Amino acid sequence: MTSVHLLHAGYTGLRTASTVVLVRDGDALIVVDPGMVASRALILDPLAALDVAPEAVTHIFLSHHHPDHTINCALFPNAEIVDFWARYRDDLWLDHDGDGHRLAPRSELWLTPGHSEEDASLVVDADDGVYAMTHLWWHTDRTPELDPFASDQAALERGRARVLAAADIVIPGHGVPFRVRDRLASATHPVMGLSGSTGGR
């Protein structure tokens, strides 16, 4: 069984928070971008509702290194942290396969630079569709079209095209998911029915 659960929907504006996601993939429990939130309970309470203890989380996936996406990594003391470059566990700095590295059987890292040179996306072939957790887009409405912090807008556009060609559902860095394609729902309709909080602004 492979499933994707929205724990917290991020936002930007006067305040900033990251979208945080849980992926269940076989024996792996992967938390994506445990960054800034108004309260740590907004991450921990939805996890508890899914019967997941912080100590049980096996991996943290970081889409990039900005603090708003990383600041709460220490909530998960037993997790291996995975970014675009390597895997980190205790005092070990371990290589991985780069683009195409699998955190679990159906969860794959894609290198998608653009927002920063260190950006990566997590693409998950879940039971109900292919999900991409990514900062190629900030918000559900796919704004801003031109990323104001982009290190390479052309590379970002190439990453967007790659993800849109593969994903059914995109979970952006600061918003609720949006649909790329779906057998039953119209394109770009916000995704409903993902477990967890959809609060935020």
Q: Where are the domains of the chain?
A: 2-90+99-179
| Range in 97-101, 139-143, 165-169, 182-186 with the lowest mean pLDDT | 182-186
Helix, strand, or coil (residue 51): coil
pTM for the model stands at 0.90
pLDDT at residue 196, as a whole number: 38
DSSP 8-state symbol, 48: H
Q: Candidates 3.40.30.10, 3.60.15.10, 3.30.1490.20, 3.40.50.300; correct CATH number of 2-90+99-179?
A: 3.60.15.10
Question: What's the pLDDT tens digit per position in 29-63?
Answer: 999 999 999 999 999 999 999 999 999 999 999 99
* Closest of 108, 33, 104 to residue 75, by C-alpha: 33
pLDDT at residue 181, as a whole number: 75
Helix, strand, or coil (residue 109): strand
* 193 Cβ contact list (under 8 Å, min separation 6): none
Q: Give 134-188 as a DSSP string.
A: -SS-SSTT---SS-TT-S-HHHHHHHHHHHHHH-SEEE-TTS--EES--SSS-TT
Question: What's the pLDDT tens digit per position in 148-187?
Answer: 999 899 999 999 999 999 999 999 999 999 999 754 443 3
Q: How confident is the model at residue 146 (pLDDT cuts 50, 70, 90)?
A: very high
Dihedral sign (CA 142, 131, 109, 58): positive
